[in-house]
Amino acid sequence: MEDFRAIKVETIIVKGKKELKVHNPTAYPMIGIGAQGAVFRLSPKRCVKLYESTHSAYWEAKALKAAKEGTSFPRLHEAGDHYVVMDYLEGPTLQEYVKRHGELPEWACAQVVGILQEMRRFKFARIDTRIGHIIVTSGNKLKVIDHSGAFRTTRRAPFMLLISLEKAGVLLPFLRYAARHHPKLYEKWRDKRREGTDVDRVPRLPRMETLLKEDTK
Ligand SMILES: Nc1ncnc2c1ncn2[C@@H]1O[C@H](COP(=O)(O)OP(=O)(O)O)[C@@H](O)[C@H]1O
Ligand SMILES: [Mg+2]
């Protein structure tokens, strides 16, 4: 097997913006790239995320270790200075799924709340994700990637998730699900939204009664 450590990821500035530049002398195909790292498929079941900074690698490994008893996270196989080897998750993102099917089914709402609950259980500081980071794996089991910020950003309500759901046109079904099945949690999000600073982009959350009343129509 070739050594994925030969792949180099560095930051360059393009038109004043930070971008990652990848040098890949191996045959491993790149399957994704973000702000922190680039991801390569090593085998049918494994991929490696290579980071520009050792900090990001350290924090992602830490989050995946913390979540190892969870059911919604890729398993961590190996971690090094600049990389993390984890399960390759096969399937469309929840964002692609919603686009294709034109809806966010109830089973997906339930699992998205389940993901947030696992993040809380594993004491993540950022209890948040977005639907582009949730993968619909076989048997419609949702799993979540990109955790290098899990302990570095603090967010007690899933604002990024709500923004991504609104963009995809499926915020309301999710809010109704949450209000009906997790009223305390929903009230907490509303409180955080109201008292929050820096929430301009976060959708306003209707009162619970309003949501539930409309639901019965
Ligand atoms: N475990 C994984 N399985 C399958 N694809 C993945 C996995 N991890 C990352 N990816 C792909 O690589 C992309 C970049 O990874 P991500 O963790 O979001 O990096 P960044 O922290 O730089 O945003 C993702 O959007 C996704 O397409
Ligand atoms: Mg990402």
Q: Are 100 and 108 in contact (CB under 8 A)?
A: no
Give the amino acid at 144: V
CA of 146 to the centre of ligand 1 (A): 6
39 CA: nearest ligand 1 atom: 12
Predicted local confidence at residue 198, as pLDDT: 81
* 74 pocket-lining for ligand 1 (C-beta < 6 Å): yes
Q: Whose CA is nearest to atom 10 of ligand 1?
A: 32
CA of 122 to the centre of ligand 1 (A): 21
pLDDT means over runs of 10, the chain (217 residues): 93 92 97 96 98 96 98 98 98 98 98 98 98 98 98 96 98 98 98 90 95 72
CA of 31 to the centre of ligand 1 (A): 8
Predicted local confidence at residue 213, as pLDDT: 86
* 63 pocket-lining for ligand 1 (C-beta < 6 Å): no
Instruction: Give the CA angle between residues 100, 172, 116 to the nearest 5°.
Output: 85
Predicted local confidence at residue 40, as pLDDT: 98
Residues, the chain, total?
A: 217
Q: Whose CA is nearest to atom 12 of ligand 1?
A: 32
CA 118 to chain centre: 12
Burial 63-99 (b: 16+ CB within 10 A, else e): bbebbeebebbbebeebeebbbbbbbbebebbbebbe
* 32 pocket-lining for ligand 1 (C-beta < 6 Å): yes
Predicted local confidence at residue 153, as pLDDT: 95
Q: Are 48 and 39 in contact (CB under 8 A)?
A: yes
Predicted local confidence at residue 215, as pLDDT: 59
Q: Are 161 and 112 in contact (CB under 8 A)?
A: yes
